[in-house]
Chain A
Amino acid sequence: MVVQALAFYAFAAVLISAGIMVVVSKNPVHSVLFLILCFFNAAGLFVMMGAEFLAMILVIVYVGAVAVLFLFVVMMLDVNFTELREGFARYLPIGLVIGVVLLIELIVLVSGAIPIGKASGPVAKAIAKQPSGHNTEMIGRLLYTDYFYLFQAAGMVLLVAMIGAIVLTHRRRDGVRRQSIAKQTARKSSESIRVVDVKPGEGL
């Protein structure tokens, strides 16, 4: 138990401080690296909750794909980050005020300091425990049965994202050489090779 608690607090603390670092670090590459650290710690938290599938997905998808992509973008685009950050100091106070107010309010709420309504805490029963089994299998089962609708809908969202990316960025340029497999395979030797009978001593 103690180990678990310690691990939880360790993960959580690193997670939050890495999150802060993402925002405040001056070098954008560092920001992305801190983001990756965030993801790892979050994955750790998931593992502790017994959601190993989510943890692995987080690492594979977010760290392996998304964050690396971020890194590429940040390194390849020539964006003047210092200029972007100019307003930072100016808006810091007001931002802080709002953030702190919100934080206090949420703490007050969650701790149940305001005695209104029913005592805080779930009033309805959470989803009934599924029969024990492999975590991945359980998620799969739920996704394809109870949450089939959402699964399909999420698919539509991804489709839109794909169409959007293509529509907004894909350009058909003239003069670009493309590979045409059909053409390549349809080629016959008779079309491409000419046998020339070269007389010795005459050349072509």
Chain B
Amino acid sequence: MGFTFTEIMPAWPEIFLACAAMGLLVLGVFMKTGAARSISWLSVLALVATGILEIVVVPDGGRVHIFNQLFVADVFTTFVKCLILGASAVGIIMSLGYNDREDIARFEFPILILLATLGMMMMVSAADLISLYVGLELQSLSLYVIAAFRRDSVKSSEAGLKYFVLGALASGMLLYGSSMIYGFSGSTNFLQLAKVLDADASAGIIVGLVFVMVGLAFKISAFPFHMWTPDVYEGAPTPVTAFFAAAPKMAAMALFISVLVGPFGNLVAQWQQVLVLIAIGSMLLGGFAAITQSNIKRLLAYSSIGNMGYALIGLSAGTKDGYSAVLIYMSIYLVMTVGAFAVVLCMRREGRMVEEVKDLAGLSKTQPAMAALMALFMFSMAGIPPLAGFFGKFYVFLAAIEAKLYILAIIGVLASVVAAYYYLRIVMTMYFTEPVEDLDRNVGPELSTIQAIAGAFVLFFILFAEPVVQMTNQAIASLTSG
């Protein structure tokens, strides 16, 4: 079986990205000094180009399977991939100044992010359990390395190692689950599986599915597979943490959707109960555990656990509206997180990074603009209208209520009240406590631009909520079109 180049058009972006990563790798090796910065910007360029290519080759309506049904492309994958590419590009840009200052500016960093992004794109486009696994591993392996990128720091190495060991365990479970599914159904292909599985599938399939879900839940750091998150977030270099909190979460969540909706779409009743438990656990844990955190990176780690819980509400609704709500939620979450981390990256005192919540004290007096933006992100995460975060929560809760998951929705609302407490605590620290020592001022144009753009998005989302909703609806429509 051979493929012509036009046949595999939907995979052009991936091919391009892979070639770009390898080309830049070679370029980086041959460039002598100062390679890191130029390779970084070239990588950003490559990501942007991939995004454009992605939009060019998107199949209009319907799904296109290629590579012997291992790879699928549709509006859904395009939507998610564009978000991922954007988040990765922002991740690289955010790392520039940090890496320079911390003396870890090496050209491999952007390359690894490119490869991780490639892995994410492959995950999103996976149409087979094997391609899912390979994509996931490509992504994870790159992430393990960049978590430990600051190899002279014990914390960073520890974070990388922890992530690696636990990630391997989770991957093992996923693989085990996949093998069970194959054993009980005779196929690993999503199309095949969707065809042969119906509501009354054998218990083996479902147990296999639970194992697969464990692996995926680990990747989105949902309860009770979240334990690595706070440690890795705290230990990894801050721009890496920012990247972790954004793109991979989006990719894993999209994968979660496409796995559950595609091959196992007929088993809604079975996976719904598992998801509900995971969602409730994540929301409550994210809400309660963050209260006593003093390190802002740890706090944001718990916050992302909680946020994954909310997103899972939409998924567990098991309706098109629910899936579309997940996409909206994740898009908004992506921007808020990136914005918040861009602020955290500015927390430096005499050139050293500081990471405690109390270091933000009195920020409103010393740097009012940044304090206002951070307050905006926190209010938005707390879900206060009319900011973007409110709409994310609104749509998932709406979907849950329409699916008659009342208890889930109620717990979600209660957990978000608890979570609001610690978001507002940050705002309070910034506005109502006296500054101890000023933070450094020169944050660099990249970070302030990212903050401003994210802030504008959060603030003005209300104005373009409708087109976004329409886009996600379209994405979900093409995902479920079979």
* Contact yes or no, B70 A160, CB < 8 A: no
* Contact yes or no, A116 B203, CB < 8 A: yes
Q: For B184, what are the chain A residues with a Cβ–Cβ distance below 8 Å? A: 120-123
CB of B433 within 8 A of chain A? no
CB of A126 within 8 A of chain B? yes
Q: For A106, what are the chain B residues with a Cβ–Cβ distance below 8 Å? A: 207
Q: For A114, what are the chain B residues with a Cβ–Cβ distance below 8 Å? A: 203
* Contact yes or no, A150 B134, CB < 8 A: yes
Please pick, from A123, A153, A160, A163, the residue contacting B122 in the complex, using a CB distance under 8 A: A153
List 17 extra interface pairs beyond A148-B3, A156-B118, A160-B145, CB under 8 A.
A109-B204, A114-B203, A116-B203, A118-B202, A120-B202, A120-B203, A122-B183, A123-B197, A124-B187, A125-B186, A145-B68, A149-B131, A153-B134, A153-B135, A161-B141, A167-B145, A168-B148
A149 CA to B202 CA, complexed, in Å:
31
Q: For B187, what are the chain A residues with a Cβ–Cβ distance below 8 Å? A: 124, 126
Please pick, from B1, B108, B131, B192, the residue contacting A153 in the complex, using a CB distance under 8 A: B131
Secondary structure at the A interface, as helix, strand, loop or mixed, is helix
* Contact yes or no, A156 B18, CB < 8 A: yes
Q: How far is the CB of B49 from chain A (nearest CB, A)?
A: 18
A164 CA to B130 CA, complexed, in Å:
23
Q: Point out which of A122, A123, A163 has the most chain B C-beta atoms below 10 A from its C-beta.
A: A123
Q: For B22, what are the chain A residues with a Cβ–Cβ distance below 8 Å? A: 159
B162-217, CB < 8 A from A = 183-187, 192-193, 195-197, 200-205, 207
Please pick, from A117, A121, A153, the residue contacting B138 in the complex, using a CB distance under 8 A: A153
Tell me the B residues contacting A by CB distance below 8 Å. 1-3, 11, 18, 22, 25, 67-68, 70-71, 106, 108, 111-112, 115, 118-119, 122, 130-131, 134-135, 137-138, 141-142, 144-145, 148-149, 151, 160, 183-187, 192-193, 195-197, 200-205, 207
Q: Which residue of A lies closest to B128 (CB)?
A: A150
* Contact yes or no, A159 B185, CB < 8 A: no
* Contact yes or no, A156 B130, CB < 8 A: no
CB of A60 within 8 A of chain B? no
Q: Point out which of A109, A160, A168 has the most chain B C-beta atoms below 10 A from its C-beta.
A: A160
Q: How far is the CB of B239 from chain A (nearest CB, A)?
A: 16
| Number of A-B contacts defined by CB within 8 Å | 115
A150-B131, A154-B134, A160-B145 known; A117+B203 contact, CB < 8 A: yes
Q: For A124, what are the chain B residues with a Cβ–Cβ distance below 8 Å? A: 185-187, 192-193, 195-196
CB of A157 within 8 A of chain B? yes
Q: How far is the CB of B32 from chain A (nearest CB, A)?
A: 12
A167 CA to B25 CA, complexed, in Å:
12
A142-173, CB < 8 A from B = 145-150, 152-154, 156-157, 159-161, 163-164, 166-169
Q: Point out which of B106, B184, B205 has the most chain A C-beta atoms below 10 A from its C-beta.
A: B184
Interface size on A, residues (CB 8 A): 36
A123 CA to B192 CA, complexed, in Å:
10
Q: Which residue of B lies closest to A165 (CB)?
A: B145
* Contact yes or no, A160 B185, CB < 8 A: no
* Contact yes or no, A123 B186, CB < 8 A: yes
Q: For A119, what are the chain B residues with a Cβ–Cβ distance below 8 Å? A: 202
Q: For B18, what are the chain A residues with a Cβ–Cβ distance below 8 Å? A: 152, 156
CB of A139 within 8 A of chain B? no
Q: Which residue of A lies closest to B195 (CB)?
A: A124
Tell me the A residues contacting B by CB distance below 8 Å. 105-106, 109-110, 114, 116-126, 145-150, 152-154, 156-157, 159-161, 163-164, 166-169
Q: Which residue of B lies closest to A168 (CB)?
A: B151
* Contact yes or no, A156 B115, CB < 8 A: yes
Q: For B160, what are the chain A residues with a Cβ–Cβ distance below 8 Å? A: 168
A166 CA to B109 CA, complexed, in Å:
12
Please pick, from A116, A122, A150, A163, the residue contacting B130 in the complex, using a CB distance under 8 A: A150
Q: For A109, what are the chain B residues with a Cβ–Cβ distance below 8 Å? A: 203-204, 207
Q: Which residue of A lies closest to B68 (CB)?
A: A146
Q: How far is the CB of A84 from chain B (nearest CB, A)?
A: 13
Q: Point out which of B67, B112, B201 has the most chain A C-beta atoms below 10 A from its C-beta.
A: B67
A122-B186, A156-B118, A160-B115 known; A167+B1 contact, CB < 8 A: no
* Contact yes or no, A167 B70, CB < 8 A: no
A140 CA to B187 CA, complexed, in Å:
21
Q: For A121, what are the chain B residues with a Cβ–Cβ distance below 8 Å? A: 184, 202
Please pick, from B111, B137, B196, the residue contacting A163 in the complex, using a CB distance under 8 A: B111
* Contact yes or no, A160 B112, CB < 8 A: yes
Q: How far is the CB of A119 from chain B (nearest CB, A)?
A: 7
| Top 6 A-B pairs, shortest CB-CB distance | A122-B186, A164-B145, A124-B186, A149-B67, A117-B202, A153-B134
Q: For B3, what are the chain A residues with a Cβ–Cβ distance below 8 Å? A: 148
* Contact yes or no, A149 B70, CB < 8 A: yes
Listed by A's residue number, 9 A-B pairs whose Cβ atoms lie within 8 Å are A109-B204, A123-B184, A124-B187, A147-B68, A152-B18, A156-B118, A160-B112, A160-B115, A163-B145
* Contact yes or no, B149 A160, CB < 8 A: no
* Contact yes or no, A160 B142, CB < 8 A: yes
A117-B201, A157-B141 known; A167+B106 contact, CB < 8 A: yes
A109-B204, A120-B204 known; A163+B25 contact, CB < 8 A: yes
A156 CA to B22 CA, complexed, in Å:
9
Q: For A157, what are the chain B residues with a Cβ–Cβ distance below 8 Å? A: 134, 137-138, 141
A1 CA to B477 CA, complexed, in Å:
54
Q: For B205, what are the chain A residues with a Cβ–Cβ distance below 8 Å? A: 117
A33 CA to B196 CA, complexed, in Å:
44
Q: Which residue of A lies closest to B205 (CB)?
A: A117
